[in-house]
């Protein structure tokens, strides 16, 4: 199982230049761990992209169904207090936005008893902080 930031999951929902790469990661390990607010971030991305590309309502609804399917097979990290504590420390240590600190805080909560910790993200700031926190981040910078 690997931890996936929202930026890494969205290409599974909406075709993107990196969708094939993301699908390959999923074929290597089909178990996804994610922060409990990732579904909300994914719906935000789907609707934003729908508005920006003037996608038909049917396409947006289809993307919502894909989000629901992915989330139904995802282990969500729901320990908000632990994630918040982690995120507050991360904000003091790294140049992160609050949402990214919460993502990494959730990854740390998830990874606490696992050895090989892999985190998927396309966000450069999150990648840098996650590497400094001991994660192997894919894709590499």
Q: Which of 36, 35, 59 is nearest to 46 (CA)?
A: 59
Q: How many domains does the chain have?
A: 1
Domain interval for residue 71: 2-138
> What stretches of 73-123 show up as alpha helix (H) in DSSP?
80-93, 98-111
What CATH number is attached to the domain comprising 51?
3.40.50.1010
Q: pLDDT tens-digit profile of 96-139?
A: 999 999 999 999 999 986 666 999 999 999 999 999 999 999 99
pTM of the model: 0.92
Q: pLDDT tens-digit profile of 86-100?
A: 999 999 999 999 999
Element (H, E) at 20: helix 19-28
CB distance 134 to 114 below 8 Å? no
């Amino acid at each position: 199982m690997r931890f996936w930031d929202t930026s890494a999951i969205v290409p599974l929902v909406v075709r993107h230049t990196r969708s094939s790469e993301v699908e390959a990661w999923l074929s290597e390990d089909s178990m996804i761990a994610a922060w409990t607010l990732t579904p909300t971030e994914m719906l935000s991305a789907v609707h934003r992209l729908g508005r920006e590309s003037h996608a038909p309502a049917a396409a947006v609804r289809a993307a919502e169904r894909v989000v629901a399917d992915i989330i139904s097979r995802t282990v969500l990290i729901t320990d908000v207090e632990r994630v918040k504590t982690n995120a507050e420390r991360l904000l003091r240590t790294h140049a992160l936005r609050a949402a990214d600190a919460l993502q990494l805080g959730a990854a740390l909560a998830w990874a606490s008893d696992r050895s090989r910790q892999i985190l998927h993200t396309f966000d450069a700031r999150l990648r840098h902080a996650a590497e400094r926190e001991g994660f192997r981040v894919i894709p590499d910078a």
